[in-house]
Amino acid sequence: MSRSACARIRAAVTIAFLTCGATAVGPSRVEAQAPAQAAVVAPAPPGPADRAAPRTDRNSMIAHEQLLEKARTGGIDVYFVGDSITRRWGATDYPDLLAHWRQQFFGWNAGNFGWGADRTQNILWRLENGELDGVNPKVIVIQAGTNNIGAQPGDATKVDEITRGLTSILNTCRRKAPKATIIVTAIFPRNDNMAVMPEIDQVNAILASLADSRTVRYLNVNDKLADKDGRLFPGMMNERDKLHPTLAGYQVWADGLKPLLQELLGPPASTDHAPPPTGDPSAAAKK
């Protein structure tokens, strides 16, 4: 880990202490992969959803350094940011999903800046600590919030806090990349506990109101992933966790995104100059 990353972590932890008082392949092939990263649930929330907070484990900080290097490399026109749902699509430790990612976005210079288990506050910290600096993408795709939802239902306060967190991500992206068009993706349905589906619907309804059809677009493909009650259609999500998309689920997302990218960027080029993909450092270390 670099000295600059260590300094950022120390500063963030000090602040927290002072303020808080202390795809063409069937789903079975993808699901058979078992990366080392535990990407579904993060540790206890380090603070409000709209206050930047780091993931201080070594693996997350190594990943952050890799994403900083990806940002410095440049050549990114479409910038994806989010949690494991975003990360897995373009990650070296999910080769089938990575092949699908390349098939869908080659020629649009797409860079993936997802990290597993991130809540909104963790994504905010990464954005505030260099991962979007100087990238100047033309389009930013946000997909986040499911780790704040979690598997246990809450109340209106929880919905409001998650919405504030997602709004803060949107505002940070606008501040750091003022010329970019931002596509806010609705939180996908999850069936590990059907009781959280009303919260997902409530947050998504508020997200839809943030779009202006110009600089901020809202994309909701949930009716292609689940029925009106949020029950997933067969084959859309990983059978083990009922949360992460299969290739079929990612294809639904791609089918929603590509018309927007075509409108905003034109057809994909015959070449691509996005940086090489990254992955879970702990998975790479075990090879």
State how far the Cα of 243 lies from the Cα of 285, in Å rounded to an integer: 26
The Cβ of residue 278 has, within 10 Å, a number of other Cβ atoms equal to 22
Q: What is the DSSP letter of 93?
A: T
**Residue 243 CA, distance from chain mean position:** 13
**Residue 185 CA, distance from chain mean position:** 10
What pLDDT does 287 receive?
Answer: 66
Structure tokens at 196: 């959280």
3-state helix, strand, coil in the chain (%, to 5): 50, 10, 40
What pLDDT does 46 receive?
Answer: 59
What pLDDT does 220 receive?
Answer: 98
The tally of domains found in the chain comes to 1
**pLDDT tens track of the chain, all 287 residues?**
444 444 444 444 333 333 333 333 333 333 334 444 444 444 454 589 999 999 999 999 999 999 999 999 999 999 999 999 999 999 999 999 999 999 999 999 999 999 999 999 999 999 999 999 999 999 999 999 999 999 999 999 999 999 999 999 999 999 999 999 999 999 999 999 999 999 999 999 999 999 999 999 999 999 999 999 999 999 999 999 999 999 999 999 999 999 999 999 999 999 999 999 999 999 977 76
What pLDDT does 9 receive?
Answer: 44
What pLDDT does 270 receive?
Answer: 98
Ramachandran assignment for 194, one of left (phi > 0), alpha (psi -120 to 50 degrees), beta (any other): alpha
Structure tokens at 282: 């702990």
Query: Domain span at residue 182?
Result: 3-285
State how far the Cα of 230 lies from the Cα of 194, in Å rounded to an integer: 8
State how far the Cα of 255 lies from the Cα of 223, in Å rounded to an integer: 13
Q: Which residues lie closer than 8 Å to 268 by C-beta, 6 or more apart? A: 105, 106, 107, 108, 261
**CATH number, domain with residue 196:** 3.40.50.1110
What pLDDT does 284 receive?
Answer: 78
Q: What is the biggest distance separating any 2 CA atoms in the chain, rounded to whole angstroms?
A: 55
* Length of the chain measured in residues: 287
3-state secondary structure of 111: strand
Q: pTM, whole model, 2 decimals?
A: 0.86
What pLDDT does 285 receive?
Answer: 75
State how far the Cα of 270 lies from the Cα of 112, in Å rounded to an integer: 20
HSE at residue 193, side-chain half, CA atoms within 13 A, is: 12
